[in-house]
């Protein structure tokens, strides 16, 4: 026991030359080579995805060639689609707010908001790309971006950055 306590107080001599920079190497590997480094910044990525969804709602989603109609998230022309991107904008604003709030209830609510936002994007994709009366709309990049970015937003809700206080154990 005395020998074990004595070792804790003294710095041991390194046995290998390569062991000298081992700590620095591990730190660099975690910092630069980790493909999941984006998860460290999940809250900022979620806010950026929310803002990107708002911008995507102004992009062209589909083009109906027979009637020469260009449909965006907020303008469906003379069709009866309404404003399919309005719900995505509302959910993205709420999601961005909950990404910024450092409370556990906000993070849990944000998972629900992200799931509904992604489901609404899938609904928009199915609704707007369905062929009607023998005419199929031409899909534009905005519709694909909407699906991708809402999925990224949903993914970022699963990795909240929040400080959870440790429980004190009675000994």
pLDDT value for 30: 47
In a domain, 85, yes or no: yes
Helix axes 104-129, 42-56, angle to 10 degrees: 30
Q: Look at residue 5 and tell me if it is in a domain.
A: no
Burial environment of residue 69 by CB neighbours within 10 A (0 to 12, 13 to 18, 19 or more): middle
Is residue 169, in this structure, part of any structural domain at all?
A: no
- Residue 77, domain extent: 42-157
Tell me if 93 sits within 8 A of 54, measured CB to CB.
Answer: yes
**Number of domains comprising the chain:** 1
Tokens (6 digits) for 70:
């260009």
- pTM for this prediction: 0.71
Q: Encode pLDDT of 17-34 as tens digits.
A: 555 555 554 444 444 555
Q: Which residues contact 155 (CB under 8 A, 6 or more apart)?
A: none
Query: Per residue in 56-86, pLDDT tens?
Result: 999 999 998 888 888 888 887 777 778 888 9
Decide: helix, strand or coil at residue 52.
Answer: helix
């Amino acid at each position: 026991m005395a020998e074990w306590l004595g070792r804790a107080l003294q710095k041991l001599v390194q046995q290998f030359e390569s062991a000298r920079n081992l700590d620095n190497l591990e730190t660099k590997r975690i910092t630069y080579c980790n493909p999941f480094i984006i998860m460290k910044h999940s809250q900022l990525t979620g806010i950026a995805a929310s803002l990107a969804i708002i911008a995507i709602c102004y992009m062209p989603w589909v083009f109906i060639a027979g009637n020469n109609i260009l449909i965006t998230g907020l303008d469906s022309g003379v069709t009866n689609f309404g404003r399919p991107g309005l719900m995505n904008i509302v959910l993205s604003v709420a999601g961005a707010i909950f990404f910024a709030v450092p409370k556990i209830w906000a993070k849990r609510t944000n998972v629900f908001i992200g799931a509904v936002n992604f489901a609404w994007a899938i609904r928009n994709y199915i609704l707007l790309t369905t062929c009607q009366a023998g005419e199929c709309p031409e899909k534009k990049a905005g519709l694909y971006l909407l699906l991708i970015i809402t999925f990224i937003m949903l993914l970022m809700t699963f990795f909240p950055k929040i400080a959870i206080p440790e429980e004190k154990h009675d000994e």
